[in-house]
Structure 1
Amino acid sequence: MSDSNLTETRKCQSCKKTESESAPLRNCSRCKSAIYCSRDCQKTDWKAHKKVCASSAQANTGSASQSTTDANATQSTKVLDTYRLRLDDDYTFTGDVHADSIYGGATDGGCAGFRRFLKRVERKPDLLPRWWTPAKAEECIRHLGYAVEKHDVVEHYGNNLMPMQLRMFGEQVLGTGPGGQKGAAMMKLQMDIEGGSGVASHLDFSALLRN
């Protein structure tokens, strides 16, 4: 029996498309177990996958002795999710698509676009935690995966205000909200579109990455 017969062929969990060298599959960025060929397939399968995803992600959290590592991973994920949510906001609210992102069909999986965002974060004083290093940045890039939507952020963090906090953090980095709008105007538009309500208050953005 050949080695190829001993190796299980990976297939997209949604459409069952077989992985190939020209069309690699990507793991779900949260649980690392489900694999998909595209963001559309991930979205299609999300309703069925989300419960399994949550339990798998919790099982992968590790022991209490790894609490510092887990906290650092959460902080890195907030930086990552700020970028991913901004991509989805730009597309949803204004139709803007960044050519070097996963929305623009970037051949590198959107890594170049995220690196560009990270450089802007790193130029802002006191936004990143003290332990942040170039190696941590590369580790964060490896977990880029797919874009996220507002409901993904709420469910992942268990906090209805987290999307707003990530959006405001993104404005601190980029200088504007989604679509080039300032935060106050864009926040009202987002709340109107999403049917939400609330009041944006002053946030300590460096503290966002410590919580």
Structure 2
Amino acid sequence: MASAACASCAKSPPEVKLKHCVQCPEVKYCGRPCQTAHWPIHRAVCNSQTGSNARSAGNNNNNARSAGNTNARSGATATGGSSSASAGLSPPKGLEQGIAKPFTHLDKGTWLHDRPPKDVYALLVDAYRLRVEDMYNLEGEIEPGSLYGGAPNGLAGFRRFLARVAARPGLLPPWWNADKKKECEDLGMDAGQWHDLRCAVEKSDIIEHYGDGQFPMQLRMFAEAVYGGPAPGGFSGTAMRSMMMAMEQGGMGDMQASSFDISSMLKR
């Protein structure tokens, strides 16, 4: 049964006008400040209402759409996953084609180069989605016009992110142009696949989709290069990237990458 009062401040009509949560119609707020303040409490409930359907369709942590639409997301990008896994490429699944030595590419600024266009689009969407999630969880900041601020999708913020990427010389592949940018935005707004700007993601979602415990680290390091500063939480990935590069080059003996998951070190 829907509440007749704001879930945060308990005010009710006619004193205030209520609007419901995008995902949970029974939960209402008198305005964005109350919705933002109540989100840490409501988040678990909001996720649990759609969690089972979302995961069965390959879409984890769906914070932005009704459960009735999640079944359309079973077509998550997985072409080429088995070949990437057998070749030892990263990620082993989730993209058309993985790459070798991803941290070396991150250091050189060529992480998005020599990939199929759809893979580039997917990675840009997911780098943005994880960055927005990290900013909310680690800095308490809400991206303007994002799901966390009550918007139905993250397209506006994603366009700002793409502008930042384009402003960093060499990060985008040489074939990138206005038409490719539009294709990238269209993929992010396609409800029939996993890289959806209507849905939020967490670290665990990224690991599950790509099958690589280090992939959140790659996305975060790429976003760090885009924004030109420390990652959310104040951590610089420079030292960790150098360590991972040394491991890719065989310079750290038998040490395993899983021992150096920056995400677990930061408890995020």
Going from structure 1 to structure 2, the CA distance change for 1:180 and 1:120 (only over 3 Å counts) comes to farther
Q: Which residue of structure 2 lines up, in the alignment, with residue 133 of structure 1? A: 177
Matches within 5 A, 1:1-211: 41=46, 44-53=49-58, 56-57=74-75, 71-106=116-151, 109-142=153-186, 143=188, 144-179=197-232, 181-184=234-237, 190-194=263-267
Structure 1: which amino acid aligns with 2:131? R
Give, as a single letter, the amino acid of the residue that structure 1 aligns with 2:178: P
Q: Which consecutive unaligned segments of at least 5 residues does structure 2 have?
A: 1-22, 27-42, 60-72, 81-95, 98-114, 189-196, 241-260
Is the contact between residue 138 and residue 233 of structure 2 (CA under 8 Å) also seen in structure 1?
no
What is the CA-CA distance between 1:97 and the residue it aligns to? 0.8
Percent same amino acid at aligned positions? 38
Deviation at 1:161, TM superposition (A): 0.5
CA distance in 1, matches of 2:230, 2:52: 29
In structure 2, how many angstroms separate the alpha carbons of the residues matched to 1:39 and 1:103? 13
Q: Give the distance between the partners of 1:165 and 1:51, measured in 2 at CA.
A: 26
> Which letter maps to 1:191?
S
Q: TM-score, normalised by structure 2?
A: 0.48
Output the amino acid matched with 2:166.
E
Deviations 1:11-67 (A, max 9, x none): xxx8699xxxxxxxxxxxxxxxxxxxx9975564234432432893258859xxxx6
Distance in 2, Cα, partners of 1:89 & 1:42: 17
What is the CA RMSD across the aligned residues, in angstroms? 3.8
Q: Matched residues in 1 for 2:52 and 2:236: separation?
A: 31
Is the 8 Å Cα contact of residues 96 and 179 (structure 1) preserved in structure 2?
no
1:16–1:180 distance in 2 versus 1, CA, 3 Å: closer
Structure with greater helix share of residues: 1
**Is 1:39–1:147's contact at 8 Å kept on the other side of the alignment?**
no
1:78 and 1:166 in contact (8 A); partners too: yes
Deviation at 1:180, TM superposition (A): 6.7
Structure 1 residues not aligned, in runs of 5+ = 1-13, 18-37, 196-211
Moved more, 96-105 or 41-50: 41-50
The alignment covers a number of residue pairs equal to 156
Distance in 1 between residues matched to 2:44 and 2:171, nearest whole Å: 29
Q: Specify whether residues 110 and 89 from structure 1 end up closer, same or farther in structure 2 by C-alpha distance, changes over 3 A only.
A: same
User: What's the TM-score once normalised by structure 1's chain length?
Assistant: 0.59
Are residues 51 and 177 of structure 1, via their aligned partners in 2, closer, same or farther at CA, if it must alter by over 3 Å? farther
| Equivalent position amino acid for 1:86 in 2 | R
